[in-house]
Amino acid sequence: MFRSKYFLFAIITFIAYGLLLPFTGFYWDDLPFAWIAKFLGPAEFVPAFLPFRPFLGPIFYVTTSLIPPVPLYWQIFALVIRFLLGISAWWMFRQIFPHKKNIAFIAALLMLIFPGYSQHWVALTHINQELIPFIFYLLSFGFTFKALRTQKITDTIIALLLQICGIFPTEYFFGIEGLRFLFLFFFFQENFLERLKKSLKIFFPYLLIWILNAAWLFYYYKFGPYNSYEVTATQSPNIIFFLTQALDAIWKTGFYIWIQSLVLTLSSIPAPASLLTLGLVIVSFASLWLILIRSLTAEDGGESNAVSLIIIGLIGILLGRLPSLAANLPLTLQSSYDRFMISMMIGGSLFIIGMIELIFKNQKTKIVIFSALIALGIGQQFFNANIFRRDWLKQGEIYWQMAWRMPALQPNTVLLTHQMPIDYETDLSFTAPINWMYAPNYERSNLPYIFLYTEKRIGGSTLPSLEKGVEIYYPYRTVDFRSSTSNAVVIYMPQHGCLRVLDSKRGDEEIYSREPSVLTDAIHLSDVSRIIPNPQTFAVAPFFSDPEHEWCYYFAKAELAQQQEDYQQVIALGNEAISLGFTPEDLNEWLIFVDAYIKTDDVESAEELSNEILREDARIRRGVCTVWEQNQGSGQVGGAEDFKSVLLSLGCNHDECLTH
């Protein structure tokens, strides 16, 4: 029986997290952590975490010493760790509920697929930061209750050591220590006072470690080198705020997340990912029902204790929310903030089991509902996996388009944009692969390159203003970046279109004037001479093989040729792309070809292409007119009267351009 249940854990783990595993990669802080592991070495994580979570450094050191910074390896490792988390939870619940084998098994399965936590695929970060310490904590709970049966001091010592390993690396689990006391209180069967006395006696050594951790955190936040989130919630206590946050946590963790996959998929029908998710939910439900109806038909002994499960679950949810609430951070689902759900897994799983045990008395009905919940969790995690798959695919497009357009960059270059059309990376996340690309032989020194979002950084200490000559300094973990705004290249990548380098000399402030000012105000800083068109070693996107060369490849190469004033090459690249059936999503991308036709005296082709663009979308008129006006007086368009005639035929009088 146990072997088959272990096998079920393995199968569910693979179906929920492994189906799209080869197509996922690195995200968020994975990228800088992978860069550190490759270029600075695993030992660098110890000083790198001193200003943040100093006890995490050794965990990162061990795992990155064993596993190279290769996305596939880390995704496989995440699958193994997730399986171990489920098994650890099952063992823990069997120790806590020795006579409730069904509840222990179902609670562990719910934790295995817990649908509120979507960060599994941010593997290098969250395995080390959360999952490994959480496994330590689960095992610590389990050994506490094992010690009650064996009466061995060694089991208690193991539980205390595991508690230290779980609570000190990260503050995420600071609140859930209270669950140990609740489990103890409901474990004993005596009257209230006797249960309280026994629970406090056993809990006391764990309480001392918790107090030690609390004192450490207080010192570290107030007087130590801590440099991350501030503890803000206690500075202006507001009962209404705390009450609404508590209700929000209970609603999301206790109820909404369990049906979240239905909400997300049904709202996006008939998208293929939604249909696949629903299909997986249906197949998983049918399979689980057949399995559980055979293995859980016998009732657990004694009373169901539904009320105690609900109480433990509710308090567990609130205790798990405490650390993120103290930092005044939101509990937002389907975002990086749902990582805080990991400390609410125990509470959320027990709460929903308690509610089902309270409402439904028929065992077969309960099995149907539990099967449905687990299946919905599997579907939710598959849905999440597909989101990360798309993100990884988009990352590859971005890195390769950078490499095509900017084959090499002068050191100390600042790449600026307002934002990128991608959800799971920040500017500092991108900084790591950019350095990987452009400095593949990096050895410890100042960081050669940095990528900054003006939308986020402008006015701050990193990017005080968008004036030329402004110093830029950023400590990137254990290395520093030092340069100035005079060494910037401004890039832009729309949601639908290709990456491009912006240049004042091309009139890009006017062409992209409808974009946010945090982008257009930076264009005057863009120094395209920092791009090295023909280097000895060309940049190569890390992690990704060279994709098929479609429109964005030809556009990037054409824009690079335009930078070198090789306009015949620009035209040749455009013609080749068109002959292969490629066209742009963003009509602005035609403008460099209009410019090339003008500069090679092929005014007829330039005018024809301009009219084609305008027929497709008149809103592009501002860009078309800007290109023609940039070439006014350059000698390529006959006389002044001829030039004026072309402008009029294109509708490029000043007032009309302003309205488009």
What pLDDT, in 10s, does the model give residues 84-106?
A: 999 999 999 999 999 899 999 99
Is 137 within the bounds of a domain? yes
Are residues 410 and 380 both part of a single domain?
no
pLDDT digits (tens, 9 = 90+) for 456-481: 999 988 999 999 999 999 999 999 99
DSSP 31-92: HHHHHHHHHT-GGGHHHHTTTT-TTTHHHHHHHHHHS-S-HHHHHHHHHHHHHHHHHHHHHH
Residues 6 or more apart whose Cβ sits within 8 Å of residue 355: 254, 306, 310
Are residues 308 and 219 both part of a single domain?
yes
Cβ count near 228 (within 10 Å): 10
Query: What residue spans of 223-271 are helical by DSSP H?
Result: 239-251, 257-266
Least confident of 14-28, 266-280, 285-299: 285-299
* More confident: 157 or 217: 157
Is 3 within the bounds of a domain? no
Q: Give dist(CA 434, CA 408) in Å, integer.
A: 11
Q: Give dist(CA 115, CA 411) in Å, integer.
A: 44
DSSP H helix total and E strand total for the chain: 28, 6
* More confident: 157 or 301: 157
Are residues 462 and 562 both part of a single domain?
no
Are residues 362 and 411 both part of a single domain?
no
* More confident: 226 or 344: 344
| pLDDT of residue 73 exceeding 50 | yes
Cβ count near 498 (within 10 Å): 24
Do the Cβ atoms of 91 and 163 come closer than 8 Å? no
Are residues 217 and 85 both part of a single domain?
yes
Nearest to 206 by CA among 177, 172, 168: 177
Domain closes at, from 507, 524, 547? 547
Q: Give dist(CA 508, CA 273) in Å, integer.
A: 38
| pLDDT of residue 350 exceeding 90 | yes
Terminal CA-to-CA distance of the chain, rounded, Å? Answer: 71
Is 260 within the bounds of a domain? yes
Are residues 609 and 538 both part of a single domain?
no
Domain closes at, from 390, 422, 457? 390
Nearest to 435 by CA among 39, 46, 67: 39
**What does each C-alpha distance from 613 to 500, 515, 621, 648 come to in angstroms?**
19, 20, 8, 16
Is 2 within the bounds of a domain? no
Q: What is the pLDDT of residue 660?
A: 47
Is 454 within the bounds of a domain? yes
Are residues 321 and 298 both part of a single domain?
yes
Is 213 within the bounds of a domain? yes
Q: Is the peptide bond before 270 cis (omega within 30 degrees of 0)?
A: yes
Domain closes at, from 519, 547, 575? 547
Q: 590 phi and psi, to 5 degrees?
A: -70, -20
Q: Give dist(CA 235, CA 325) in Å, integer.
A: 12
Amino acid type, 185:
F
**High-pLDDT (> 90) share of the chain, %:** 82
User: Domain range holding 641?
Assistant: 548-660
Rounded to an integer, what is the distance from CA 268 to the centroid of its chain? 21
Least confident of 348-357, 571-580, 646-655: 646-655
Query: What residue spans of 327-344 are helical by DSSP H?
Result: none
Are residues 472 and 361 both part of a single domain?
no
**What does each C-alpha distance from 30 to 128, 428, 430, 534, 608 come to in angstroms?**
11, 11, 10, 31, 48
Give me the sign of the Cα torsion angle 203, 207, 209, 213.
Answer: positive
Angle, alpha carbons 588-591-593 (nearest 5°):
135
DSSP conformational letter for 526: -
Is 4 within the bounds of a domain? no
- Residue 552 sits in a domain whose CATH number is 1.25.40
Are residues 413 and 362 both part of a single domain?
no
Q: Give dist(CA 148, CA 152) in Å, integer.
A: 8
| Predicted model pTM | 0.92
Which tokens belong to 615? 């027929």
The count of C-alpha atoms lying within 13 angstroms of the C-alpha of 448, restricted to the half-sphere facing its C-beta, is 19
Q: What is the pLDDT of residue 658?
A: 43
Q: What is the pLDDT of residue 107?
A: 97
Q: Give dist(CA 93, CA 179) in Å, integer.
A: 12
DSSP conformational letter for 535: -
* H/E element, 657: helix 654-659
| pLDDT of residue 47 exceeding 90 | yes
Is 395 within the bounds of a domain? no
Q: 379 phi and psi, to 5 degrees?
A: -60, -40
Torsion from C-alpha of 247, 249, 253, 258, nearest 10 degrees:
60
**What does each C-alpha distance from 260 to 14, 338, 371 come to in angstroms?**
21, 13, 16
DSSP conformational letter for 310: H
Cβ count near 187 (within 10 Å): 19
Mean pLDDT of the chain: 92
Q: What is the pLDDT of residue 288?
A: 96
| pLDDT of residue 68 exceeding 90 | yes
Give how many domains the chain has, as a whole number. 3
Least confident of 50-59, 370-379, 542-551: 50-59
Sheet holding 500-501: strands in order across? 449-453, 413-417, 488-492, 500-501
Q: What is the pLDDT of residue 633?
A: 66
pLDDT band at residue 220 using 50, 70 and 90 as cut-offs = confident
Are residues 536 and 552 both part of a single domain?
no
State the average pLDDT over residues 374-392.
97
Beta strand pairing call for 500-501 and 471-476:
unpaired
Are residues 71 and 187 both part of a single domain?
yes
State the average pLDDT over residues 249-277.
93
Q: Give dist(CA 486, CA 12) in Å, integer.
A: 54
| pLDDT of residue 632 exceeding 90 | no
Residues 6 or more apart whose Cβ sits within 8 Å of residue 610: 594, 624, 627, 628, 650
Rounded to an integer, what is the distance from CA 576 to the centroid of its chain? 38
DSSP 579-629: HTT---SSGGGGHHHHHHHHHTT-HHHHHHHHHHHHHH-GGGHHHHHHHHH
Angle, alpha carbons 541-547-552 (nearest 5°):
90
Q: Give dist(CA 609, CA 591) in Å, integer.
A: 9
Q: What is the pLDDT of residue 659?
A: 44
Do the Cβ atoms of 137 and 176 come closer than 8 Å? yes
Query: What residue spans of 223-305 are helical by DSSP H?
Result: 239-251, 257-266, 272-295
Least confident of 307-316, 473-482, 596-605, 627-636: 627-636
From its phi and psi, is residue 424 left (phi > 0), alpha (psi between -120 and 50) or beta? Answer: alpha
Q: Give dist(CA 631, CA 637) in Å, integer.
A: 8
| DSSP percent split of the chain into helix, strand, coil, nearest 5 | 65, 5, 30
Q: Give dist(CA 433, CA 400) in Å, integer.
A: 11
Are residues 329 and 467 both part of a single domain?
no
pLDDT band at residue 189 using 50, 70 and 90 as cut-offs = confident
